[in-house]
Amino acid sequence: MDTFDSSYPTKAARHGVLFLKEGVLKITRTSYRDDFSPIDPNCSCHTCQTTSRAYLHHLFKAKEFTAHTLASIHNLHTMNQRMKDFRNNILANNI
């Protein structure tokens, strides 16, 4: 469980799908147009620390490639954190 290789986090990001601990968030939905909260308030990635849901929604709607980069940063960080949690649980025998 030390490695993880998949194109899914970046592919999902290109379509506006952001990973959350409890599921996914589809940032292109109109409900996020005026939502100035972070993507995931519990996430420490660059995107969540610097970008609101409303701004990322705007970038996707304006077809800015920066949107894909910011969403990919978040999804990759979330997947790396998830893998780290899996490893720690296995090592601690908390399976």
Tens digits of per-residue pLDDT, 1-39? 455 668 899 999 999 999 998 899 999 999 999 999 999
pLDDT at 74 over 90: yes
Residue 57: its pLDDT value, please? 98
Q: What is the mean pLDDT of residues 30-55?
A: 97
Q: Is 18 helix (H, G, I), strand (E, B) or coil?
A: strand
**Residue whose C-alpha is closest to residue 53's, from 8, 11, 20, 79:** 20
Is residue 73 included in any domain, yes or no? yes
Is residue 15 included in any domain, yes or no? yes
Is residue 32 included in any domain, yes or no? yes
Burial class (CB in 10 A: 0-12, 13-18, 19+), 92: exposed
Give the domain range for residue 16.
8-90
Rounded to whole angstroms, the Cα distance separating 17 from 11 reads: 9
- Mean of all residue pLDDT scores within the chain: 92
Domain count, the chain: 1
Is residue 25 included in any domain, yes or no? yes
